[in-house]
Amino acid sequence: MIIKGRAHKFGDDINTDDIISAKYLVTIDPVELGKKCMESIAPDFTKQAAKGDIIAAGKNFGCGSSREHAPLSIKGLGISCVIASSFARIFYRNAINTGLPILEIAQADEIKGGDELEIDLTDGIIKNITQGKTYKSDGLPEFMQRIVVSGGLMQWIRSRTSV
């Protein structure tokens, strides 16, 4: 699967309160949550982000609370993929489970806001069209790939057990 979009740049340790503030956790509607995505740290982000755009961030993206509303708000806004140098573990699980594509690359810091990116999710290749660079992500461990290929955790569970 190929994703094309413009990068929006965020720093290190972007926590789930940054992604979606707790005061908005009174709904589970991704579109509603998406309207408030990154509100406190980047108030204009929801206006600037176009459907299919990409978040690029530093280390430990998604640290903090376990709220699945965080990846849902990113998806609800129409963001197609998050690239970071590392992800906090609960966010990582939540992204896999909810079907938000995420990629870990050491060179995430090289990506600048506004860069045009083309991502091949199958082989984890990220082309930075603006900078003329190519990065390779290790991709997901085989076990997690099976969950993603099934269409998310619940589908994978269903393929294993009779509900």
Partner 1 sequence: MAYTITEKILLKHAPGKQDIHPGEFIWAKIDLTLANDITAPLAIEEFRKAGAKKVFDAKKMVLVPDHFTPAKDLKSANQAKLLADFAREQGIKNYFEIGQMGIEHALLPELGLIHPGDLIIGADSHTCTYGALGAFSTGMGSTDIAASWITGFTWLRVPQTLKFIYKGKLKKWVGGKDLILYTIGDIGVDGALYKAMEFSGPVIEKLGMDSRLSLCNMAIEAGGKSGIIAPDEVTFEYIRAARCRLQAAGNKTRSLQPEARSKLKSDSDAQYAEIKEYDVSDLEPQVACPHLPSNVKGVSQLKDVKVDQVVIGSCTNGRISDLRVAAKVMKGKKVKSNLRVIVIPATQNVYKQAIKEGLLELFAKAGCVISTSTCGPCLGGHCGLLADGETAIATTNRNFFGRMGSPKSFVYLSNPAVAAASAVTGRITHPDEIR
Q: How far is the CB of 161 from partner 1 (least distance, A)?
A: 6
Q: How far apart are CA 115 and CA 131, in angstroms?
A: 7
CB atoms within 10 A of CB 56: 26
The distance of closest approach from Cβ of residue 9 to partner 1 in the complex, given in angstroms and rounded to an integer, is: 17
State the residues that interact with partner 1 by CB under 8 A: 13, 15, 17-18, 21-23, 25-28, 40-41, 59-60, 63-69, 72, 86, 88-90, 93-94, 97-98, 141, 143, 152-154, 157-158, 160-161, 163
Residues whose CB is less than 8 angstroms from the CB of residue 146 and which lie 6 or more positions away in sequence, other chains included: 156
Give the nearer residue to partner 1 in terms of CB position, either 15 or 130: 15
Q: How far is the CB of 29 from partner 1 (least distance, A)?
A: 10
The first and second tokens of residue 79, run together, are 């963001």
